[in-house]
Amino acid sequence: MLTPGQKAPEFSLYSADKKEVTLSTFKGKNVIILFFPMAFTSVCTAELCEMRDNISIYSALNAEVLGISVDSPFTLAKFKEEQNLPFDLLSDFNKEVSQAYDTYYETFVMNLKGVSKRSAFVVDQEGIIQYAEVLESAGDVPNFQAVQQTLNSLN
Active-site residues, by number, are 44
Angstrom CA distances, 14 to 20, 66, 89, 94, stand at 4, 11, 8, 11
> CA 133, CA 142: separation in Å to the nearest integer?
7
- Secondary structure (3-state) at 68: strand
Contact, 139 vs 40, CB < 8 A? no
Q: Is beta strand 30-35 parallel, antiparallel or unpaired with respect to 129-134?
A: unpaired
